[in-house]
């Protein structure tokens, strides 16, 4: 089950306050030692399935995350397993990337994401560092975990991982659906 949300205002507070909250900065990110401490404290960037979750649901959620993520630690770019991405990590994003966790955008160059699998929104959404909406799902300064970059590039700071991610609540609800042992088929061609 998802952990309680720590903060509701990560997308509304000033960037200075946000960086202080996560003990990071916009140029060098966390050090490797700091990231290791956060990983030890919070655990891996994985969603904990409820008991009796069907295997197809676990596989489906796992497939929504990238295997590797480009982070900046100690000022150096580093490719890490996505399960080792932590709150406060500075991440580089580009078109084609699947978003590894909930990320506050701090720089963007024509960066658009596809949110259709989370929200049903059919048009790619342009992201920017500016606060636009109090609802985090509608805010344009947040890239939510499992959404996909369509074009452009961005830099952002991770603020939710694992069971604290906004999409973790969605995954929890889907996992509670009872379709039996087999994954339901929606193919109309067979």
Q: List pLDDT tens digits, range 1-27.
A: 344 556 789 999 999 999 999 999 999
Task: Lowest mean pLDDT of 33-37, 152-156, 172-176, name the range.
Answer: 172-176
pLDDT at 89 over 90: yes
Residue ranges covered by each domain of the chain: 15-175
CB contact set of 24 (below 8 Å; sequence gap of 6+): 30, 34, 88, 89, 90, 157
More confident residue, 161 or 118: 161
C-alpha dihedral, 190 to 115 to 35 to 38, nearest 10°: -90
**Per-residue pLDDT tens for 30-65?**
999 999 999 999 999 998 877 777 787 777 777 788
Q: What mean pLDDT is predicted for residues 151-157?
A: 98
> For the residues of the chain, what is the DSSP string, one character each?
-PPPPS-S-TTTS-HHHHHHHTT--TTTBB-HHHHHHHHHHH--S---PPTT--HHHHHHHHTTS-SEEEEEETTEEEEEEGGG--TT-EEEEETTPBP-SEEEEEEEEEEEEE-HHHH---SPEE--SS---SSTTT-TTEE-TT-EEEEEEEEEEEEE-GGGSHHHHHHHHHHT----SSPP---S--
CATH code for the structural domain at 15-175: 2.70.150.10
């Amino acid at each position: 089950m998802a952990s309680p949300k720590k903060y509701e205002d990560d997308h509304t507070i000033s960037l200075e306050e946000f960086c202080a909250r996560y003990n990071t900065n916009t140029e060098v990110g966390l050090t490797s030692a700091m990231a290791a401490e956060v990983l030890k404290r919070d655990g891996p960037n994985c969603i904990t399935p409820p008991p009796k979750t069907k295997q197809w649901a676990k596989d489906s959620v796992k497939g929504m995350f990238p295997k590797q993520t480009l982070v900046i630690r100690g000022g150096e770019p580093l490719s890490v397993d996505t399960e080792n991405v932590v709150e406060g990590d500075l991440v580089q994003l580009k078109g084609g990337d699947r978003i590894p966790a909930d990320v506050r955008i701090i720089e963007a160059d024509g960066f658009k994401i596809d949110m259709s699998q989370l929200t049903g929104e059919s048009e790619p959404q342009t992201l920017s560092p500016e606060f636009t909406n109090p609802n985090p799902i509608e805010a344009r300064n947040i890239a939510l975990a499992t959404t996909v970059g369509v074009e452009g590039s961005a830099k952002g700071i991770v603020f939710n991982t694992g069971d604290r991610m906004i999409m973790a609540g969605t995954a929890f609800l889907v996992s509670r659906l009872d379709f039996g042992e087999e994954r339901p088929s929606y193919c109309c061609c067979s």
